[in-house]
Chain A
Amino acid sequence: MTMVEGLLQALVDGLTIGIVYVLLAAGLSVIFGVMNVINFAHGELFALGAYFALALVGPFGGYGFFAALLVAPLLVGLIGVGIERYTVQPLYGRNPLYHILLTFGLVLVINDLIYLVWGPGNVSLAVPAVLSGTVTAFGLNASVYNLFIIAFGAAMALAVWALLEYTKYGLIVRAGSQDRQMVRNLGIDIDRYYSLVFGVGAALAAVAGIILGGYQTVSPEMGMSVIIPAFVIVVLGGLGSFKGAVVGGLAVGIIQTLLRTYAPILEGMVIFLLMIAVLLVRPHGLFGSEAPEGEGGGDLLTGSGGVLEAETRRRLGLAAVGLLALVPLGAGTLYSTYAVTLMVEILIWGLFALSLDFVMGYTGLVSLGHALFYALGAYAVAISLAHVGGSAFVAIGLAILLSAAIAWFVGYLSIRVSGVYFAMITLAFAELFYNLLFRLEITGGSEGLFGLSAYYGLAGVGISLEEIAIFVGPVALTGQSLFYYIALATLVGAFLLTRRMLESPFGAVLKSIRENEQRATFVGYETTVYKRRAFVISGALAGLAGGLFTLNAGYATPSFAYWLHSGEVIVMVILGGMGTLYGPIIGSGVFFGLEEVLTEFTERWRLVLGTVFVLFVIFLPQGLVSLPAQLEPYLGGSGPGPEPEPEPEPTPEDSSVRGDD
């Protein structure tokens, strides 16, 4: 095969993947354009399409594929309508970032449902005989299926475009994406169209899932693996732009395939760099409209104000710290030593969640890539322990410095864009780093770094936690138990430090930005400067959390930077209560507590977690800390005060949850 033929071959393959991306991104983009909803669950709808097709092809075989191509998207479309009606709709009018949170919860739910029903592993979707085989033309081997995807996908995209461009429905939908209120004023019930748009978007995703399933294989991870590239495409092309989705989809498909063939080291990084570059030059994407429609509509709901009296809160806090300090004393006697390990994890993630709350809850910047800083801290510690020396202090110091520096850099580039675009650009940075971790030698590639140990001291003089024991009465505290106190002290210290900052002039400005950024500007504050500072502090604390983890566990792996990690920490912040600093710590406890309790029943505990989270976003957006205030009217308001760490109310009642395998 000559160079030219090889290139053409790669182009055909790229075009095939590109078409799949176009179908996926078109729905995503139109849903955003019309409803301002960033649908994270789009990838899962894509996977659902493939699995439904699998179920339909199974009994009918062969030509069942064509039937599946019709029926499965319809079913997924119906699910889409249901999702829009029962979960998305209650959130209209709130900040669009809540839709990100909601649909992230749906990702957890749908993904686990797929695991439950179809189980893990790759399955191939049988393609009818007509579509198999290859055609050879001009020395090029193109499989019939490739050509089918390209032709069918192009036809679908064309049909959607015609629908948008030439029908009455399309006109209303396009008008709605320009000015929703105006369309309402014309007497059109635009809300009804929302369900339809969501359904069509879901169906398109399902079509994409089916044809890709036939091309590659079907697996429960397929949704997660396409959703991030799909976002990149939508952001590249311009949120809400159909044309952008088409151009972006084809471009990303072709670029990815070419890179895989010619420069595999860059695969997975170039598209994120491209996205970052485009966002910086044209914040609204290649074809996006300049008008910041709906941007910043509705506030982020924080748990601050009216949530318990300050004095009650102080006493509860002291009591909680006191109780936490007792935990290691009972380990090995009252309960297993595993409790301490679990608690260390809760404390570290509590710190991580607190760091995110500092920017999200106080300046309204939703970082979808906070795992970047956690992973930076973790790797800084790992590399320091491996190459610089075993000092824990040096390692942690480096972790904080490095993550603060990178946070400054990321903040410098991304804080100029706001809202949804900020979320996307931080996501891109985190994914970039995630991909980088696999490729760098110093980070140990996909294995990561492990088997690290540290001493507490400087310049070779110090002690290892394993070598000492502190006796409290009859109990000897060593190793993990001692580390527990380090983690607890760090968390309490970070909490007090950030709380102090929020009482300072700096913190006052942060709060004013959260309340009303425009007004803050016209009171005389350069708000981007303040947001960037907050972001640096937050990044440093996240790095500290990641650093502590590696210090204790002795390893760091690329998964630390994965976007699900960023999502999980957001879940904790929302569960506990954003904008309170202590809420996210409670959120971390509940998160791991739920995991601990639920994994005893089912491996698919995220299904329950996702459901709880979705319910929280809809019904209790201010988090657990607002529960006492919410419940007060029902309890007559004379209760003796809530327990320090209330367990989550909504226990999963759906019987579907009990589908233990």
Chain B
Amino acid sequence: MAAEPTQPDTDRRAAEEQILRTDGLVKKFGQFVATDRVDLTVERGEFRSIIGPNGAGKTTLFNLVTGALPVTEGEIYFDGEEITGLSPSERVRRGMGRSFQISNVFGGLTVRENVRLAAQSIDRDEYNALEALFKPTDRYDGMNERTDAALERIGLADVAEEQADALAYGDKRRLEIGVVLATDPDLVLFDEPTAGMSAEETQETIDLIEEVLVDQTLLLIEHDIELVMELSDRITVLNRGEILAEGTPEEIAANEDVQDAYLGGMIE
């Protein structure tokens, strides 16, 4: 009797701590099963990485979570609500930010316009239908304040009027992260943010992510195992679409299944 009422309570607390949960997620491409009954839980404030050999289904899982691909079976919960059928843009508005690799900013627009687009997206209370059509963007105080704040935070305030295309390599990356930041995300998903970078560039990027997005929950897909070991609170290892192991970096490093999968799945 006494134990009964506390059970749902702890469940609810657990649910509140979970920012993202997938239940039996399956994605099939024809006969090919790219994601196989994945149950993933990410807690609020955590830095989680997903690793796995080539073809393990990391990117597919990522696309399912962000809504870029429809799921075959299973459900996705974000912040306690089911989002399985929602469009990618709706997920972004609910606080799921997605970062791309570098060149994915609006190159023909200015730095400020890039960031403001993100701020504008989540601040739709600030304008009605008519204003949205006819009131120039520079006349919305709230939106512009948030834009300025994000620009300060990523350190691009002094190049705000430059075209994004004209930015230096490192600054473009800052802008990319600034755009995500301005959508005010609770969870940020990164798809191999350091792919193709030198060791030095990788370090800069990681520093930037840690500096700017310190309050957010981060979910990272990475190839670079060493990097992940160093940064993550917890790591999920995927292999052939399934979760092979999950745990702290130490636990993962000691896991024999993981070692086998990596040796079998990819020649280093």
The interface of chain A, by Cβ under 8 A from chain B, is 302, 304-305, 500-501, 503-509, 511-512, 514-516, 518-527
The interface of chain B, by Cβ under 8 A from chain A, is 66, 87-90, 92-93, 98, 100, 104-109, 113, 116-118, 120-122, 127, 131-137, 140, 163, 179, 183
Verify B136–A523 contact, CB threshold 8 A: no
Verify B133–A512 contact, CB threshold 8 A: no
Further pairs besides A525-B121, A526-B89: 19, Cβ < 8 Å: A302-B108, A504-B136, A505-B132, A505-B135, A506-B132, A506-B133, A507-B137, A508-B116, A509-B120, A511-B113, A515-B108, A516-B105, A516-B107, A522-B98, A523-B89, A523-B92, A523-B183, A524-B89, A524-B121
Verify B104–A504 contact, CB threshold 8 A: no
- Given A523-B183, A524-B183, A503 and B122 contact (CB-CB distance below 8 Å): no
Bound-complex Cα distance A516 to B247 (A):
37
Verify A508–B120 contact, CB threshold 8 A: yes
Q: Which residue of A lies closest to B127 (CB)?
A: A505
The winner among B118, B121, B122, B135 for most chain A CB atoms within 10 A is B121
Verify A511–B109 contact, CB threshold 8 A: yes
Bound-complex Cα distance A450 to B116 (A):
51
Q: Which residues of B contact A305 (CB under 8 A)?
A: 108, 163
Q: Which residues of A contact B98 (CB under 8 A)?
A: 522
Verify A524–B107 contact, CB threshold 8 A: no
- Given A304-B108, A511-B109, A519-B104, A524 and B134 contact (CB-CB distance below 8 Å): no
The 5 closest A-B pairs by CB, nearest first: A524-B121, A524-B92, A515-B106, A503-B136, A524-B93
Verify A501–B116 contact, CB threshold 8 A: no
Q: Which residues of B contact A516 (CB under 8 A)?
A: 104-107
Task: Give the shortest distance, in Å, between B233 (CB) and chain A (any CB).
Answer: 25
Verify A521–B88 contact, CB threshold 8 A: yes
The winner among A504, A509, A516, A526 for most chain B CB atoms within 10 A is A504
From the candidates A500, A512, A526, A527, name the one contacting B117 in the complex (CB within 8 A): A512
Verify A505–B163 contact, CB threshold 8 A: no
Verify B134–A501 contact, CB threshold 8 A: yes
A-B contact number at CB 8 A: 89
Verify A501–B133 contact, CB threshold 8 A: yes
- A-B residue pairs in contact (CB < 8 Å), sample of 17: A503-B136, A504-B135, A504-B136, A504-B137, A508-B113, A508-B120, A509-B117, A512-B106, A515-B109, A519-B100, A519-B104, A519-B106, A521-B87, A522-B89, A522-B100, A524-B93, A526-B87
- Given A504-B134, A505-B120, A522 and B108 contact (CB-CB distance below 8 Å): no
Q: Which residue of A lies closest to B129 (CB)?
A: A506
Bound-complex Cα distance A370 to B108 (A):
27
Q: Which residues of B contact A526 (CB under 8 A)?
A: 87, 89-90
Q: Which residue of B lies closest to A501 (CB)?
A: B133
Q: Which residues of B contact A521 (CB under 8 A)?
A: 87-89, 92
Q: Which residues of A contact B117 (CB under 8 A)?
A: 508-509, 512, 520, 523
Task: Give the shortest distance, in Å, between B162 (CB) and chain A (any CB).
Answer: 12
Q: Which residues of B contact A514 (CB under 8 A)?
A: 108
Verify A522–B66 contact, CB threshold 8 A: yes
Q: Which residues of B contact A505 (CB under 8 A)?
A: 120, 127, 131-132, 135, 137, 140
Q: Which residues of A contact B66 (CB under 8 A)?
A: 522
Verify A504–B89 contact, CB threshold 8 A: no
Bound-complex Cα distance A508 to B110 (A):
11
Verify A500–B134 contact, CB threshold 8 A: yes
Task: Give the shortest distance, in Å, between B21 (CB) and chain A (any CB).
Answer: 21
- Given A305-B163, A515-B106, A500 and B121 contact (CB-CB distance below 8 Å): no
Q: Which residue of B lies closest to A537 (CB)?
A: B133
Bound-complex Cα distance A521 to B117 (A):
11
From the candidates A503, A506, A511, A527, name the one contacting B106 in the complex (CB within 8 A): A511
The winner among B117, B140, B163 for most chain A CB atoms within 10 A is B117
Bound-complex Cα distance A508 to B124 (A):
14
